Structure 1
Amino acid sequence: MQVYLFMLGWVILFGILSQVTAKRVCVGQNLDGDMYESRANLFMALVTFAVIIFFAGARSNVADTSAYIKMFKDYPLFQNAHNIIFDSSAREPGFRLFSILIKTFISDNYTVWLSIIAVISGICVMIPLYKYSCNFGVSAFLFMASCQFTWMFNGMRQFLVAAIIFSCTGLILKNKPLLYILIVCVLATIHKSAFILIPMYFIAQGEPWNKRTLLFIGCIVLAMLFTSKFTSLLTDVVEQTDYAGSVNEFKDADDGTNPIRILVESIPVILAFIYRDKIKDKLTPIIKLSINMSLIASGLYIISKVASSGILLGRLPIYFSMYNLILLPWLLKNIFEKREKDLVYYIMIICYLIFFYYQLNVVAGKASYISEILKIKY
């Protein structure tokens, strides 16, 4: 726990400094004229995320890391890997190829391999926050305090895909579906769940609360009404996916996503809906997209709870919930007046710190950190 507290303190400190050194830039126009927001300095953004990347890359036996390390050690070198790379019965050949290339041409040390993945994941999360967040410091704090950072320590393969596609946000804003879909198809060779991003690309387009998003809400309601049939469908599907082993092992104990997690991840879209009339003239393209993505994330979380499928569906919202890191700071900035804004910020910080403690000490059972290279075991 000490390592995670150190990481949180680092992110808070340098997140504040990144906001102090931020520049104001024009992000669009409304009826009142030009709209300005703060954008962080790139160097400060990198420093803020450096601590997460460092400890993610240096870990040894944290959560599912030991299984990944064993897998990496068992991989042959590239010249002997033809059968493994092109094994039609094995899943996600892209990740195998990526790992074997690192082992062959860079290093066979698993720490180097984990560090490369941590750098890619961390930078790909940082870039959209640096480019689009009106308060990078708050966004970085939310990434830590909401415990989304733990994906870099547990479930790194899916998060690698989620982070890369998050960094491709500009393709959605510029309406380049073909390139976006091509990237998704490539990433699906790393984790097949990435295919969900293709239909969601079209749902997330356009104004918040449009017909497509309302149709998605309707699908959520139907899934809740026909839970048993929906769960049976999931059971049939999951047997053909990469989650099969995990689901079969833990299905008796799986009661879906934690309701507290659902509430925390749904707060931004709830605020956006309640204050939709107040913010409608201030919306920028990235905020419109973030509202729709947040709605998708909340919907998937709700369905995962209703279907008691935290292992399967409960992992899918990470592709969309990272947009909350952009959305929530913007909502706090644009909804509340100065006096109440300060109070809301204090309440937010306290609540997220409580959630941080709850996730790592209660849900995760006193999360530990182990690093052989750093000789750390907490």
Structure 2
Amino acid sequence: MTGLVILIFVCTVFAAISQNRDSRTLHHHKKKASKDRVFFTILVGYMVIFAGLRTSYNDTDSYISTFMKTEPITNVFNGLNWDLGTNPGFKIFTSLIRTFTDNPNIYLMICSLIVIPLIVGFVHRYTKNFTLSMFLFFTMGYFLFCLAAIKQTMATALAVLAIQKLLDGKKLRYLLCLLLGTLIHPYCLMYLIAPILMKQIPWHKGTWFMLFLVAIVAYSFNFLVQTILDVTDIMGEGYNKETFVGEGINTFRVMVYFVPVVISFLWRKTLFEHTKRHENLFMNCTIVCALIMFVGMFGNANMFARLAMYFEPPIYVALPWMIYKLKGKVEGLFISIMAYIAYPAYFYYQTVMAKPFDLIYHSMSLGEFFNSLFQ
């Protein structure tokens, strides 16, 4: 746990330094822009190394076991199942790495080298407060999620890359990124709704329609399970009823994800009077994330929590943006202070009380990693 706390502290400090030297506000100083990239690279590099050195955490053992059993790329296409539910893209990716090495930590390092720079780079590009965004990235638990769910976070990384292409007007690249992400994990397809979310101003008719729809789904969830199973069968997932029905998501966790949604509702007239496309998109993704969490209270916690996490990275842009829009007001200052108090409390609950981090996380030292390269 000490190593994780040090990581959070150092990365938050480097995020603050990077923000102060941000090339978007100091673009006329090329040397400062270069230094900004250096600090950002160090920040990301630290996270990648920390993630790559783990030997166990959540599903890490399963990923390592699968990696060690995977055949080289020359054999993987023989009889490869291309159903989306079998994650053919991820199998090919794993096989490609396995062709060149049998070192599982190199594999984990490469996975982290793809996921973390793409997601953190996305946040860095659009956020109004990179320091707060990184603080939320850690304290809301997404960094640890990157350690736990490689397939899902890799697909999400490609999804947020697709979002950047969409916002840049590159629709073909947007679709190609989503296709690649879908081959990694099929839930990436959810980002096909991004063009709609981009056009819909939060808390107009579209938002209320979503709330109404979610209320119906939550109320009749047990009756809809078979329909959901039929849809997942089409995708090749092959889930059973127990996958969707079980102990629901913790109410406290759901409340945490509804905090940005409640803020956006209470100050909707100030926040959404004049909004840009990306602001609409990120706020709507935040609402979608919370609504999926809400439905998860009535279904399987693990299933719906991971589903919701696909829409979590935009939260790290949306919440700082709302605070930025409310700056100069007492409300903005209060929300900012509470964010730096409440989210660490949630992080403590998740990593110490609910699932003690020290009991499930193990890693090797950097020296041991380098020694393993020559064995």
* Interval containing the TM-score (normalised by the shorter chain): 0.7 to 0.9
Within 5 Å, which residues of 2 pair with 1:350-369? Answer: 350-367=341-358, 368-369=360-361
Within 5 Å, which residues of 2 pair with 1:18-167? Answer: 18-23=18-23, 25=25, 41-83=36-78, 85-86=80-81, 91-104=86-99, 106-167=100-161
Alignment RMSD (CA, Å): 2.9
Amino acid at match of 2:98: K
CA distance in 2, matches of 1:125, 1:341: 26
Structure 1 window deviating more from structure 2 (263-272 vs 212-221): it is 212-221
How far apart are residue 114 of structure 1 and its match?
0.9
Equivalence for 2:363: 371
How far apart are residue 233 of structure 1 and its match?
3.0
Q: Contact 2:162/2:175 (CA < 8 Å) preserved in 1?
A: no
Q: Deviations over 1:50-71 (max 9, x none)?
A: 2221111111111111111111
CA distance in 2, matches of 1:372, 1:181: 39
How far apart are residue 181 of structure 1 and its match?
2.9
Structure 1 window deviating more from structure 2 (364-373 vs 139-148): it is 364-373
How far apart are residue 314 of structure 1 and its match?
2.2
C-alpha change, 1:89 and 1:301, in structure 2 (3 Å) is closer
Equivalence for 1:304: 296
Q: Contact 2:182/2:188 (CA < 8 Å) preserved in 1?
A: yes
TM-score (norm 2): 0.86
SS in 1 for 2:56: coil
How far apart are residue 176 of structure 1 and its match?
4.5
Equivalence for 2:17: 17
Q: In the alignment, does 2:338 pair up with 1:347?
A: yes
Amino acid at match of 2:68: K
Q: Contact 1:129/1:139 (CA < 8 Å) preserved in 2?
A: yes
How far apart are residue 87 of structure 1 and its match?
7.0
CA distance in 1, matches of 2:111, 2:186: 18
CA distance in 2, matches of 1:373, 1:78: 30
How far apart are residue 178 of structure 1 and its match?
4.3
Gaps in structure 1 of 5+ consecutive residues: 27-39
CA distance in 2, matches of 1:178, 1:19: 32
Number of paired residues? 360
Q: Contact 2:85/2:238 (CA < 8 Å) preserved in 1?
A: no
CA distance in 1, matches of 2:267, 2:193: 28
How far apart are residue 313 of structure 1 and its match?
2.3
Equivalence for 2:321: 330
Equivalence for 1:7: 7
Within 5 Å, which residues of 2 pair with 1:244-255? Answer: 248=242, 254-255=246-247
Equivalence for 1:273: 265
How far apart are residue 318 of structure 1 and its match?
1.6
Gaps in structure 2 of 5+ consecutive residues: 27-34, 370-375
CA distance in 1, matches of 2:135, 2:250: 21
CA distance in 2, matches of 1:60, 1:243: 28
Equivalence for 1:286: 278
